[in-house]
Amino acid sequence: MGAEKLLIRAARVSDASDLHELHARAVDASCRGHYSDDQVQVLLTGRTAEGYLPAIERDEMFVMESDGCMVGFGHATQGEVEAIFVDPAWAGRGVGGALLEHALRLAARGHEGPIQLKSTLNAVGFYEAHGFVEVGATELDKHGMALPFVLMERRGEPPAERRGEPPAERQESDDEDRPRPVALDAYDSMAEAYGAAIEDNPRSIYYERPALLGLLPDVSGRRVLDAGCGPGVMMEWLLTQGARVVGVDASENMLKLAEQRVGDAAVLHVADLEQPMPFLADSSFDVILTSGTLGYVRDWLAVFREFSRVLKPGGCVVFSVGHPCSEYTLNETDDYFSTELGEYTWRGLGAPIVVPCYRRPLSHMIDPIVRAGFSIESVIEPVPTEEFAEVEPEEYAQLMRRPGVLCVRVRKPASGT
């Protein structure tokens, strides 16, 4: 591919007009000679930038960039490569092949069997060179004119793992320089045990979860990001409420469990919340839920700025985090006013496991949220429900006197930043 730095990232709403223009240039340059002038005209007719938005919203489209300029894009759905387009100025430089590999990985998510596509006549050789075979012919009706396409299939494994693969730009960038999430190894190693325990964990179901879920707006039909989704218990609940859900977690093992739980009903990404998440489009979520995860992240300003970028205006973040008061006491620190990396030893999940975690004062929670442009709508210091007393009387008595978690809802302004 030469020395250019090429990145693949998810398409964003703000890409729509570039997609539209590149698409027209590519069709114009590549289809002539294979279709009549009238047919090419029909292929170009009736397209608008807005026409790309639904597929962008569904996370089906991705773009390749060189130094911030779009050089190609692709579109894949489950089991099907819908489109690959390369800017004519970048033809023959490996862009199409890289986009196709990415499309194949997306199309293979949760899909068994061959990947299919409908090729324009000009692109048949390109797809054959990447392992597709012709399986038939079809005609597609475009504005009343029947245009010939070739039906093709590719069998065998996709180019990399099926799901949860790191976004392509991470593979090509300075990954090694990035700090590893502090709790990643701990969560990776206890994923199975955590996943088995969390669903019915009394502290979750009779204490933290009711308070947290009570802060959520109606999520039916809403696009919700579960940030630090773990084994997917919250995602499963969100899906039952009719939400469209995307889950992000640093731990691949957790995401495997989440995938077992929710199947293809949610889109999952391996990602560190402390890093940018360019695979999530700007202004594309109504709600972000993050349950029990922010304690493992040092830089809340980076996280809340990224949350603000991906939230629609007027969208909200609902989160739970260890209460600064109890964390202060548990960590036996004598410096309340600093953010410190401590650790807890978890004993209830098989062999004891040390889990690193940040403790911070209340001001270090509020400041970054406000600086990222959010307003704080609701802060709850929950107490356990009565059921908790029946199953864990000692912990119940303690939580009635000493706080364990904070549950908070913050909102991005409806207009402006």
Ligand X SMILES: C[S@@+](CC[C@H](N)C(=O)[O-])C[C@H]1O[C@@H](n2cnc3c(N)ncnc32)[C@H](O)[C@@H]1O
Which residue is listed with tokens 């949220």? 369
d(CA 390, CA 221): 37
Among residues 27, 56, 99, 183, which is the contact residue for ligand X, using CB under 6 A? 183
Contacts 24+ apart (CB under 8 A), 14-18: 14/282, 15/52, 15/56, 15/61, 15/63, 15/70, 15/73, 16/49, 16/50, 16/52, 16/53, 16/56, 17/49, 18/63, 18/70
Q: Please choose, from the candidates 361, 358, 328, the residue with its C-alpha nearest in 3D space to the C-alpha of residue 343.
A: 358
If one asks whether residue 30 binds ligand X (CB under 6 A), the answer comes out as no
Output 272 or 306, the one with its CB closest to ligand X.
272
Number of residues that bind ligand X (CB under 6 A): 21
Give the three-class secondary structure for 296: helix
**Which has the closest alpha carbon to 153: 97, 83, 79?**
79
353 counts as binding ligand X under rule CB under 6 A: no
Indicate whether 274 belongs to the interface with ligand X (CB under 6 A).
yes
Q: Is 297 in the site for ligand X (CB under 6 A)?
A: yes
Single out the segment in contact with ligand X by CB under 6 A; choices: 5-13, 17-25, 224-232, 236-244.
Answer: 224-232
First to last CA, the chain: 38
Give, for 60, the enclosing helix (H) or strand (E): none
**Looking at beta carbons only, is 70 or 273 nearer to ligand X?**
273
Q: Quick one: tokens of 226? A: 């579960």
Stretch in the footprint of ligand X (CB under 6 A) among 66-74, 99-107, 142-150, 292-300: 292-300
Question: Would the CA dihedral through 395, 401, 406, 407 be positive or negative?
Answer: positive
Q: Using an 8 Å Cβ cutoff, are 376 and 408 in contact?
A: yes
Q: Which of 120, 291, 308, 331 binds ligand X (CB under 6 A)?
A: 291
Does residue 211 belong to the site contacting ligand X (CB under 6 A)? no
- Candidates 40, 99, 234, 408; binder of ligand X (CB under 6 A) is 234
Q: Which of 320, 274, 317 shows the shortest CA–CA distance to 299?
A: 274
Question: Does the footprint of ligand X cover residue 358 (CB under 6 A)?
Answer: no
Contact call for residue 190 and ligand X (CB under 6 A)? no
Contact between 181 and ligand X per CB under 6 A = yes
Give the number of C-alpha atoms closer than 13 A to the C-alpha of residue 241, restricted to the C-beta side. Answer: 17
CB of residue 298 vs ligand X: minimum separation in angstroms? 9
**By the rule CB under 6 A, 327 interacts with ligand X:** no
**By C-beta, is 296 or 328 nearer to ligand X?**
296
- Cα of 332 vs its chain's centroid, Å: 36
Q: Write down the least CB distance from residue 280 to ligand X, Å.
A: 13
Tell me which stretch binds ligand X (CB under 6 A): 33-41, 181-189, 321-329, 383-391. Answer: 181-189
Of the residues 35, 206, 296, 300, which one makes contact with ligand X according to CB under 6 A: 296
198 binds ligand X (CB under 6 A): yes
Q: Say if CB 321 and CB 406 are below 8 A apart.
A: yes
Q: How far is the CB of 294 from ligand X (least distance, A)?
A: 9
Closer by beta carbon to ligand X, 26 or else 258: 258
Q: How far is the CB of 230 from ligand X (least distance, A)?
A: 3
Give the DSSP H or E segment for 333.
Answer: none
Strand 311-322 and strand 285-291: the pairing is: parallel
Q: Where does this chain touch ligand X (CB under 6 A) — which range of 213-221, 289-297, 329-337, 364-372? A: 289-297
Taking the complex as a whole, how short is the minimal distance between the CB of residue 56 and ligand X, in angstroms? 24
The site map against ligand X for 243-272 (x = CB under 6 A) is: ------xxx--x-----------------x
Q: Which residue among 167, 230, 322, 361 contacts ligand X (CB under 6 A)?
A: 230
Give me the long-range contacts of 140-149 (CB less than 8 A, separation at least 24): 142/42, 142/43, 142/45, 143/42, 143/45, 143/46, 145/38, 145/39, 145/42, 147/35, 147/39, 147/42, 147/43, 148/121, 149/118, 149/119, 149/120, 149/121
Residue 72 vs 228, nearer CB to ligand X: 228
Nearest residue (beta carbon) to ligand X? 230
User: Contact between 273 and ligand X (CB under 6 A)?
Assistant: yes
Which residues lie near ligand X (CB under 6 A)? 181, 183, 187, 198, 228-230, 233-234, 249-251, 254, 272-274, 291-293, 296-297
